Structures are given as structure tokens and as C-alpha cells.
Amino acid sequence: MARPLRVEYEGAFYHITARGNERRAIFLTDEDFSRFLKVLERIHERYGILVHAYVLMTNHYHLLMETPRGNLAAALHDLNTAYTNYFNRAHDRVGHLFQGRYRSILVEKDAYLLELSRYIHLNPIRAGLVRHPGAYRWSSYLSYVLLRSSLSWLCTREVLGEMDKDKAKARRKYQQFVEEGLNGKERNPFEGLIAGIVLGGEGFWEEIKTRVHKFERANEVPTLKKVYRKTDVEAIVEKVASFYEVSIETVSQKKRSLHMGSQVAMYLARKKTDLSLNEIGAFFGGRHYTAVSVAFRRVEQRRERDRKFDQELAKIEKQIPQQEYL
């Protein structure tokens, strides 16, 4: 079976779903749900994706996402890989967690954003898990209707902006809108699905086809290229070297004994830039891409178990300039 077409461009909206392999559970404990949200937060920070709504079910998840940088594939690969690695360690298992690749549907924002958010938030009710969306912990619904439950990385302004300019009124109106769906007033937004990959009108569909054909004629993958200024790896190395009070060469040059500063710098380069593992390895004395991957994993694991180390890295990160877009 051919893989579904992936279309990426800056500012695109997507409805994303991924299911457990053989429809098995991908969340077994509350810690699993919490960890997935932590990984999702890191993906937001690293790739700049905007999460507008989510629901985590027992054997699958739904995300309503926007990609300002046009980097959906990289972000989702990182998300699913990181969570799979955690899940396998936590539950003493090996192998694939998800059933094939995630499914992505391009969404015409103005026409479907509101309906899709309601569809996502009512998923637990359709599954018979709860009777009211507010009773389900693992969705973004409460962040929409209760200010105190809001997550800092969740983007609610686009959906709530459809309801009212006043935030308090928007929350009340959105709650009413979602609850109308409990009374059978919800329509299936996917009735407008075109070619299995686009949710929108004919004008939107023509726009997507134009994007795809343009890059097919150029013999490229149908993905719009990202145009932005990457964080300077040299700036990262300088900050790390200064923090550890060592020379820049100690951090950046390839040596048999790997300094902690080198591991931290490679970790931050992977986290703060869109450079590939090969590109990062080349900067650090021509290291193999696997060395960068191992360094990233070691630093990530140490951050989780060593609070002091985590605080040190947080200080370094604050000194690194954010990516600027052209």
C-alpha cells in the first residue's frame, strides 16, 4: 500500500491521529498520559508547533495542530519516537508502539477549526468513557472553559476568538457550543474530506493541488521549504563553554574523552535548531550522527533524574537567542 501524501507548508493546520499497534493501548497509567503531554510540550518548544486541541484516548490520540515552520514530519517523528522510548522502558517492552505512520489531514482553518475542536473534545463521550467532556482529564477541554486549568503551551486563542473577543464570554460560549454537541447538534466534520487528506472547500483543495504540483514538477518532495534563520550553533557552544569555564575548543573539537559541555552543546543544538544529526556531528569535529543521538539521550535522561543539572541547563537555555523568522 502506498504511503499517504504528506503536504507541509508554513502556517498549515492539521488534524492528526495515531493509533496503537494492533489497536492496543498506548496509555496504561496516569503517568503515561502525563508523560505524553510533557513530550508534546517539548515538541512545541523545539519545533514551534502550535497545539490548538488534543485528546488522549486509551489506544489513540487526536491533535489539532498548526505548523508555523512547515515541519510537521520532523515534529511528529520526534513526538512518537520519544514517547515510544519512554513507554517501552516504563512497561518493559520492545518494538513498535504505534500502528504504522500517523494520519494527517490538512484543514481549512476558517471553515473547520471550530467544529474539529468540538469533535476532538467530544471523543471521550462518543467512546462511552464519560458523560460530559469536563469529566475527562486527558483532553484540552478544561483549558478552554476554565482559566485555572489552562496549559501555557496550549493555543486556545484561535478557537475562542471564533466565539467572542471578550475571553470570559468566549469561554462560556464555547462551553455552550460543545455541549450542544451532546444533544445531537454536532455534525461530522469529516464528511467534507477530499482525497483522504484535505478537509476544506474546493478553493482550498485547488490551492493544495497547486502546491503539490509545483514541487512535483521541480522533482522535489511535495513539502514547502522552511525559510528562517537557524540559531547559531557557535553561539550555543560559546554559552556552554562560558558556563563550564572551559575553552570553545574543548566543547567543539572531537576528542577521545567527551567533555560534559560537548554533550550539553550537542543536546542544545539538537533541541534549539533544525539541523540534522549529521550536520551537528560535522560541527563537533566530524562526529558520527549516532554520537549526537547518544549525547542527546544521555543529557535528556540526566535532566529527568538530576534536578540540579536540569536547573543548570535551564540557565544556559535562557541565554541562547530564540530563532528569528524571515
Q: Which three three-digit cell numbers place residue 134?
A: 469536563
Whole-number pLDDT of residue 4 = 52
Domains, in order of start, for the chain: 12-217 (3.30.70.1290), 230-325 (1.10.1750.10)
Task: Scan for cell 523545539, then name that residue.
Answer: 46
The parts of the chain modelled with pLDDT lower than 70 are 1-5, 148-149, 213-231, 256, 274, 321-326
The pLDDT assigned to 322 comes to 53
Q: Which residues of 271-291 are buried (b: 16+ CB within 10 A; e: fewer)?
A: bbbbbebeebbebbeebeeeb
pLDDT computed for residue 214 by the predictor? 65
For β-strands 103-107 and 193-194, DSSP reports them as unpaired
Alpha-carbon distance of 95 to 192, in angstroms, equals: 36
Give the tens place of pLDDT for each residue, 127-149.
999 999 999 999 999 999 987 66
Candidates 47, 65, 45; CA nearest to 55 is: 65
**What are the beta bridge partners of residue 12?**
67
> Which grid cell is 174?
464555547
* Residue 7, pLDDT score: 84
Q: What kind and span of H or E run contains 255?
A: none
pLDDT for res 201 = 86
Report the alpha-carbon angle 219-107-271, nearest 5. Answer: 70
Q: What is the pLDDT of residues 256-296, one digit of tens each?
A: 677 888 889 988 887 777 577 777 888 888 888 888 888 88
Q: What is the rounded CA–CA span in Å between residue 91 and residue 94?
A: 9
Return d(Cα 3, Cα 73) in angstroms, integer.
13
Question: What are 282's three cell numbers?
Answer: 560535522
CA 75 – CA 141 distance, rounded (Å): 23
CA–CA gap between residue 168 and residue 171 (Å, rounded):
5
List of E strands, 96-189: 103-107
Cell numbers given for 239: 554559552
Q: Are strands 198-199 and 103-107 parallel, antiparallel or unpaired?
A: parallel
Q: What is the dihedral of CA 100, 47, 123, 171, to 10 degrees?
A: -170
